[in-house]
Amino acid sequence: MRKIINLSLGIFQEYFRDKLFYFIFSLSVLLLLSSFVLQEMVVGEAGKVFKDMALNGITLFAVAVPIFITSQMISSQIQRKSIYLVLSFPLSYPSIVLAHLLASLYIIVISILSFSVIAFALILPFEVWFLQLLIHSYLSIFLGLILSAWALFFSSVTSSILSALSTFIIYSIGATFQTALEYANHYHRLMGLSLKALGYIVPNASLFDLKPELIYRLPYSKEILILAPIYSISSAVIFIYLSSLILSKREI
């Protein structure tokens, strides 16, 4: 396990210096700060726009890191031939993929926690909103985990650009899945059953989304705090195996 962690830290250091990551972080903070201006234009609950921006900013890291950074990890290493350095570690292919997944998770966790601290500090003078930020950060980390697993799967199959595009499409399907399922169940039973079957394949992003409940302090099922990590980790294990299988068969 120590070798996996050492490899993951090396990969993390390489991609954490990526300028794209800092662009995403700066953009998120800028949008968060702009919410103070937008709040003056909106009639309604004080701080609602800020809370919405804060939670969306956290989600942005869980989605953007897998799409723009994780998706290029394996494919770019293959293209630059630096994959040989990774393969020189006395590790199995599943362990190598796991190291990449951990590296992606490090970036997601650090960015989400850093952004959450900024958001909490900005809203603290107006309202104590720590628990809500913590819950959304917790769920977003597991959303980032499952999307990173998908991104690594695509990265082991195709180029960086196609991998990023495929990860984005998968997230888009997952983000609209629950709405589409409710519509299909209401109007077309067969389509509803087909979409329900599809739900076992694509990541159901709605499982990680409690934004309305957290913003308006509405009741929600506490079971989701247990189901979300189980669902995410189970999917990640499957895609670690698939990615390692493809990588072992691929001509590098």
Residue 63 binned pLDDT confidence (cut-offs 50, 70, 90): very high
Distances (CA, A) of 101 to 12, 142, 250: 10, 12, 19
- DSSP result, 175-242: HHHHHHHHHHHHH-HHHHHHHHHHTTTS--GGGG--HHHHHTT----TTHHHHHHHHHHHHHHHHHHH
Name the residue with higher pLDDT: 193 or 26.
Answer: 26
Within 13 A of 41's CA, how many CA atoms are on the CB side? Answer: 5
Residue 207 confidence class, pLDDT cut points 50, 70, 90: confident
Q: What is the pLDDT of residue 168?
A: 94
pLDDT beyond 60 at 43: no
Q: What is the mean pLDDT of residues 213-240?
A: 90
**Which of 70, 72, 150, 65 lies closest to 115, judged by CA?**
65
- The whole-angstrom separation of Cα 164 and Cα 172 is 12
At residue 15, does pLDDT exceed 60? yes
Identify which of 25-34, 90-99, 160-169, 189-198 has the greatest average pLDDT.
160-169
pLDDT in tens, 135-186: 999 999 999 999 999 999 999 988 889 999 999 999 988 888 766 666 656 6
Percent of the chain residues past pLDDT 90, beyond the cut: 35
Of 138 and 190, which is predicted with more confidence? 138
Domain holding 144, by residue range, is: 2-249
Q: For the chain, what is the domain count? A: 1
| Sequence-separated (6 or more) residues with CB below 8 Å from residue 87 | 96, 252
- Share above pLDDT 70 across residues of the chain, in percent, rounded to a whole number: 84
Q: Which residue did the predictor score with more confidence, 217 or 39? A: 217
Read off the pLDDT of each residue in 245-252 and give the average, rounded to a whole number.
78
* For range 43-66, the mean pLDDT: 83
- The CA–CA distances, whole Å, from 28 to 6, 37, 250 equal 30, 15, 37
Nearest to 51 by CA among 101, 102, 119, 105: 119
Residue that is written with structure tokens 């293959």 in the block:
78
Q: 99-112: per-residue pLDDT in tens?
A: 999 999 999 999 99
